[in-house]
Structure 1
């Protein structure tokens, strides 16, 4: 019996973080700071691509959602503990998945439950990181097809109501100077989420790209890791 208990202790459940990107040209590159930070802490991270900007025919909102669902379903079939992180549009999808799938924790970064500037979501973040080297590679982040804007809106409209069904622990981070998603959006959705453990952290003066903010990015990354590790409780 004791050998059995010892064996179980040596084989804890696998914990995997799945991060869902927003409606931006950089897609999973939005999470590069997070990817590097969690790699140092030996935390497994999966970054699914939700859409293909080089395929103008990729305009089915259900396909965008399905690409995230398939990752969570596969991990659940492996009995892994899934922690979801969603940025902007990815936050709405992540909340939907947390409502209908076995998710251990949910982290929302400037979730796009109510968008105010779709153009910023697609273009501003890419422009933020322009550099001489990147200008030599103009196709690194190709423009999003025009039809993708309506797909983004459809994804949000299809899923935003599911946040009221989320009962796993939730942490929301939102910048008070977000030029794309008003901070009031997160205040409203925070009140509607029924989870017993939930927290809303407002970052003073921060815009939409929280993980790239020159002042608060480090704090945000440490806060995310602490929540993942169970060091933060609400």
Structure 2
């Protein structure tokens, strides 16, 4: 009886796992100066953007419940001379499709490739869930600088710690093992951490930072900030502007 119940919970975790990872907002909070559509397999993706001519651009990949349009004002403040492209993940606020790791990485690569046809100097910013996507993109494409906000070393490790009585390593499909991609990242990297992050353990962020060559990474801790409030913290925009 107990074994049957245990196996039932394992099955529930397996089939419902993505609902525990992705929390798509249904509508954009702010109207971007321009909105375009990016065609992807099985999805049409919304991109909020501030177009600007010239070689400089920035691609922003948000968190698991984030409406990326809300980040546009701070990004515009930190990067006044860069075109801005904010990807609404598939299934998020105007984009069709269903989110999963392989697709999100492929979508971000497609946005990079489209952006690179007009801009040669691309900064990549990934927040929380998006830090894992950004690392994979930066391991496959040249970026001038990489910014990781509240990043993790491995989503698999975090999930295993949260569900210690279950075989998470066998059950989890979207592992986001960021540490695997660090050796292939050539860009100077800024890690922005929240002092009081209640979602990503500080040890996970420190492990990730320690995997970079120390002359290629800078870490900034925003004091008094939590995981979801880091963008309200003093010094956040200044830290972003490191990649200016």
TM-score range, shorter chain: 0.5 to 0.7
Cα distance in structure 1, aligned partners of 2:92 and 2:115: 26
Q: How does 1:23-172 map to 2 (within 5 A)?
A: 23-24=64-65, 26-38=66-78, 41-53=80-92, 58-115=98-155, 116=158, 154=174, 156-157=176-177, 159-172=178-191
1:190 to 209, 212, 229: 209
Aligned partner of residue 66 in structure 1, secondary structure: helix
**Is the CA contact 1:20–1:86 (under 8 Å) kept in the aligned structure 2?**
yes
Task: Describe the shift of the 1:30–1:211 C-alpha distance in structure 2 as closer, same or farther (beyond 3 A).
Answer: farther
Cα distance in structure 1, aligned partners of 2:238 and 2:97: 39
**Is the CA contact 2:78–2:240 (under 8 Å) kept in the aligned structure 1?**
no
Question: 1:7-43 deviations in whole A, cap 9, x for unaligned?
Answer: xxxxx9611011101111x33145244244247x243
2:218 to 182, 199, 209: 199
Aligned partner of residue 156 in structure 1, secondary structure: coil
Aligned partner of residue 197 in structure 2, secondary structure: coil
Normalized per residue, which structure has more strand?
A: 2
Task: Describe the shift of the 1:160–1:197 C-alpha distance in structure 2 as closer, same or farther (beyond 3 A).
Answer: closer
Normalized per residue, which structure has more helix?
A: 1
Instruction: For CA contacts below 8 A with separation 6 or more, give which structure has more relative contact order.
Output: 1
Question: 1:123-170 deviations in whole A, cap 9, x for unaligned?
Answer: xxxxxxxxxxxxxxxxxxxxxxxxxxx98x60514x541123212100
Is 1:223–2:242 an aligned residue pair?
Answer: no
Structure 2, gaps ≥5 residues long = 1-52, 160-170
**Is the CA contact 1:170–1:195 (under 8 Å) kept in the aligned structure 2?**
no
Cα distance in structure 2, aligned partners of 1:43 and 1:78: 12
| CA RMSD in angstroms, aligned pairs only | 3.0
Q: Please give the TM-score of this superposition, normalised by the length of structure 1.
A: 0.66
1:100 offset after TM fit, Å? 1.2
Aligned partner of residue 137 in structure 2, secondary structure: helix
Is 1:22–2:38 an aligned residue pair?
Answer: no
Structure 1, gaps ≥5 residues long = 1-11, 118-149, 230-234
Q: Please give the TM-score of this superposition, normalised by the length of structure 2.
A: 0.63
Cα distance in structure 1, aligned partners of 2:147 and 2:99: 27
**Is the CA contact 1:174–1:210 (under 8 Å) kept in the aligned structure 2?**
no
Task: Describe the shift of the 1:37–1:194 C-alpha distance in structure 2 as closer, same or farther (beyond 3 A).
Answer: same
